[in-house]
Structure 1
Amino acid sequence: MKSTINIIGSGFSSLAASCYLAKAGFEVTIFEKNSTIGGRARQLIKDGFTFDIGPTWYWMPDVFERFFSDFNKKPSDYYTLEKLNPAYSVYFGKDDYITIEDTLEKIKLAFDKEEPGSSKKLQKFIDTAKNNYDIAIKDLVYNPGVSPLELITPATIKKINQFFSTIKKDVRKEFKNERLVKILEFPVLFLGAKPSDTPSFYSFMNYADFGLGTFHPKKGMYQVILAMEHLAKELGVNIKVNAPVESILIENKEAKGLVSNGTNYYSDIVVSGADYHHTETLIDSSLRQYSESYWEKKTFAPSSLLFYVGFDKKLENVNHHTLFFDVDFDVHAKAIYDNPKWPKDPLFYASFPSITDDNAAPEGKEAGIFLIPLAPGLEDTPELRSEYFDKIINRFEHLTSQDVKKSIIFKESFCINDFINDYNSYKGNAYGMANTLLQTAFLRPKIKSKKVNNLFFTGQLTVPGPGVPPSLISGKLVADLVTKHHSILV
């Protein structure tokens, strides 16, 4: 008889874990509280428009390829990828922007145009970033975070100084042009911390950006979720939606299953891909590994105020991904990390998937996604959402030299309260726990519970950290640990 596993949540990490565990011979059931799968990577479909509610950037294609290859599959078996050119553009003022194209050689030309001679420094920086990427993505991040020794390899010993310097120091040591600095500091924002708090080693994100490029799955990021669902079901995984988990069943400090919609579902092992903090509220306080003060002291990645907007015309002077860095980043960052409050003048990001993808909007119309990074735990009201939409849409019109407000068919918003309600997210964070030096690898919350046997965790609050590729990896890590643990028991 097969051993059974119940998994809480159906985001990237849970789906990945379910595939690996089913392949290893377990009988796996996923419990998803919402009516559709995907966790933060769900869709909004309205009036012929289709929006990815969560992640919109497809970076590190090799991680996706590695995941599917573990099952003798390829991403192209399920969805079509398009490399974006340009990858994105960055606005610094009215009609003033830098475009990042699809190859390093083209990007070097853009750098030289901005700061003559900077392309040589960029090549050197990216060479280091690529070396870090090879060490990190091919080796380090596939460790389960159980021991400090995982970080000690011949390659990392040579890089030891990079764990004690920061991205901000490294970038500003080489580049003086503030616009280029902002572009080079941008990728580490995906790791959830300020460049001044992110170890230099994480420059591998710059290689992901300039070296590998930015992609778009045709019909949106949700196609990756559907691909993983298809694979999971092929492997025999059972998925239940509208199945919130009320508690985890524990006997003699051992997980025995869970309770969903008032029904007990027994299993040999429980894996949670839900918010780590929330998952521990499903068990008795004496069995929780981490106190409220532990979570309170941690550096969390931002939350977000998101708007999904349908426009009745095609927009001008924007690319699929467009960043608006026309205000002071440091001031906005302080409002997120140092003195949490609503930023007076926020940076923001906009995505227009319908520029690339006909599926995103009816013909002649545009789908727009706008994102403002915010500190988790802030007050979230309809009035604040409305005020901040007006702030960014006014700036958007000014910076891109076009009128768009009269062309809005509808707008939907998603913010801190929604992250809490829909995902049980701690303080409404959007990206998990930041990858700072003291929150890296073995210093993150553990995959395996120290207090409850047969209870495991996966996702952005444990290893390797925030982001879609790390979530895929996290699913593999928990599956490997479960399989190893179970083989010892039997």
Structure 2
Amino acid sequence: MKKRVSIIGSGFASMAAACYLARDGYQVQVFEKNTEVGGRARQLKKEGFTFDIGPTWYWMPDVFERFFADFGKTPKDYYSLQKLNPAYKVFFEDGNTISIEDSLEKIYAAFEKEEPGSSAKLKKFISRAQENYDIAIKDLVYRPGVSPLELITPTTATKLGQFFSTISKEVRKEFSNEKLIQILEFPVLFLGAKASNTPAFYSFMNYADFGLGTWHPEGGMYSVIKGIKELAESLGVDFTTNASVEKINLHNKKATSITVNGKLVESDIVLSGADYHHTESLLPEESRQYSESYWNKKDFAPSSLLFYVGFNKRLKNVAHHSLFFDTDFGKHAEAIYDNPKWPNDPLFYASFPSITDASTAPEGKEAGIFLIPLAPDLQDTPELREKFFQKIIQRLENLTGQEVQKEILFKDSFCVNDFKKEYNSYKGNAYGLANTLFQTAFLRPKLKSKKVDHLYFTGQLTVPGPGVPPSLISGKLAAELIHQSKN
């Protein structure tokens, strides 16, 4: 008889784990509290517009390829990809912009134009970043975080110093132009920490950015979720939505069932891709591995204030991905990480998927997604949301030389309170635990419970960390750990 695995949540990590476990002969059922699968990677459809509610960047295409290849498939079996050019456009305070295009040679030229001599430095920097990428993504991140010895290999021994330096130090050794520094420090925002707190080894994100490029799945990131769900169902995975998991039931310190909408679901193994802190709250207190003080001391990645806006016209002078670095990044970072509060002049990111993908907006109109990174657990009110929308929309108008306010058909928002309500997210964080030195690899919360047998975890709060590609990898790691255990 097949062993029954109950999976809590249906984000990228849960979906990946479901596929691997079903392939390996388990009977897998996924329970999702919301009305559709995808976890944070859901979709909003309104008045003919389509928005990705969560992730909007498709980076590290090789990780997606490796995932599908494990099942004899390729991404194109499920969705179409387009490489973006430019990958993104960056707006600065002086009104100038820098576009990061779709090849290293073009990026070297853009750097050289901004700061003569910088292209040679960038080539060396990217060469080192590619070495790190090859070590990290092809090897290290596919290790389960069980032991510190996982990090020690003949190759990583030569990179040890990079774990004790930071991205910020390494970038500033080579570059003095603040615009170029901001562009090089930007990718680690996906890791949820300041560049000054992120180990230099994580420069592999710069190679992911410049070397591998930015892609767009037709129909948005939710097309990837739909593709993985199709794969999972073909392997026999069963999905149940509107299914709130209320309790993980134990017998002799072993997970034996879960309570879903008041009903008992017998399980040989329970795997949670839901928020780790929330999952442990479904257990008796003595069966939880990590205390409230443990979580409270951890460095969490930011939360976000997001807006989904339907415009009644096409916008000009913006790119599919647009970064607005026209204010002091240091002050905004301080308001997120050092002295948590609403920032006075926030940096923000905007995505206009309809520039690339006609399916995301009616003809002649534009879909806009805006994101302001925030400290977790801030006060969140409609008045604050509106105040900050006005701040960023006015800056968008000034920097791009156009009026857009009068062209807004509607706007929906999503912020700290929504992350807590929709995803049971600890303090309303958006990206999980930051990848700082003391929250890397074996120092992150464990995939396997130390106190409850047959209980496992996956997702952005455990290894390897935040982001969509790491979540796919996390699902694989959790599934392998389950399959290798003598349950």
Q: Distance in 1 between matches of 2:407 and 2:256?
A: 55
Q: Secondary structure at the match of 1:295?
A: helix
> Normalising by structure 2, what TM-score?
1.00
**Counterpart in the other structure of 2:43:** 43
Cα distance in 1 for partners of 2:289, 2:197 equals 26
Give runs of aligned pairs for residues 354-373 of structure 1, distance below 5 A: 354-373=354-373
Conserved in 2, the CA contact under 8 Å of 1:94 and 1:399?
Answer: no
**Offset of residue 176 of structure 1:** 0.3
2:62 corresponds in structure 1 to: 62
Aligned length: 487
CA offsets, 1:108-146, max 9 Å, x none? 000000000100000000000000000000000000000
Which residue of structure 2 lines up, in the alignment, with residue 272 of structure 1?
A: 272
- Kept in 2, the 8 Å contact 1:95–1:401? The answer is no
- Counterpart in the other structure of 1:128: 128
Which SS does the other structure have where 2:129 is aligned? helix
SS of the residue 1:402 aligns to: coil
What secondary structure is seen at the aligned counterpart in 2 of 1:394? helix
**1:83 corresponding residue in structure 2:** 83
TM-score scaled to structure 1, two decimals?
A: 0.99
The sequence identity of aligned pairs, in percent, is: 71
Corresponding letter in the other structure for 1:425: S
CA distance in 1, matches of 2:275, 2:359: 31
Please name the residue that 1:402 is paired with: 402
Which residue in the other structure is 2:387 paired with? 387
Distance between the aligned counterparts of 1:337 and 1:287, measured in 2?
Answer: 31
Partner of 2:12: 12
Q: Offset of 1:341 from its aligned partner?
A: 0.3
SS at match of 1:370: strand
Q: Structure 2: how far apart are the matches of 1:93 and 1:102?
A: 24
What is the aligned partner in structure 2 of residue 140 from structure 1? 140
Rounded to whole Å, the distance in 2 between the matches of 1:96 and 1:112 is 15
Structure 2 match to 1:319: 319
* 3-state DSSP of counterpart to 2:22: helix
CA distance in structure 2 between the partners assigned to 1:266 and 1:340 by the alignment: 43
Q: Check the 8 A contact 1:310/1:365 in 2, yes or no.
A: yes
SS at match of 2:131: helix
Counterpart for residue 454 of structure 1: 454
Q: Post-superposition shift, 1:96?
A: 1.2
**Cα-to-partner distance string for 1:418-477 (whole Å, 9 max, x where unaligned):** 000000000000000000000000000000000000000000000000000000000000
Judge conservation of contact 1:94–1:398 (CA < 8 Å) in 2.
no
1:333, 1:250 → 2: CA distance?
Answer: 43
What is the distance in 2 between the residues matched to 1:409 and 1:2? 52
- CA contact 1:341–1:378 (8 Å) conserved in 2: yes
Whole-Å Cα distance in 2 between the matches of residues 95 and 143 of structure 1? 45
Q: Cα offset for 1:95?
A: 3.8
The one-letter code matched in structure 1 to 2:322 is: T
String of CA shifts for 1:284-314, please: whole Å, max 9, x gaps: 0101000000000000000000000000000
For 1:172 and 1:317, the matched residues in 2 are separated by 30
Q: CA deviation at 1:94?
A: 5.6
- Structure-1 residue corresponding to 2:283: 283
1:94/1:400 contact within 8 Å kept: no
Moved over 3 A (4+): none
Residue 413 of structure 2 aligns to which amino acid in structure 1? S
1:222-241: per-residue Cα shift (whole Å, max 9, x none)?
00000000000000000000
The residue that corresponds to 1:310 in the other structure is 310
What SS does the corresponding residue of 1:146 show, helix, strand or coil?
coil
1:103 is displaced (CA, Å) by: 0.3
Report the residue type matching 2:445 in the other structure: P
Shift of 1:93: 2.7
Distance 2:95 2:416 in 1: 32
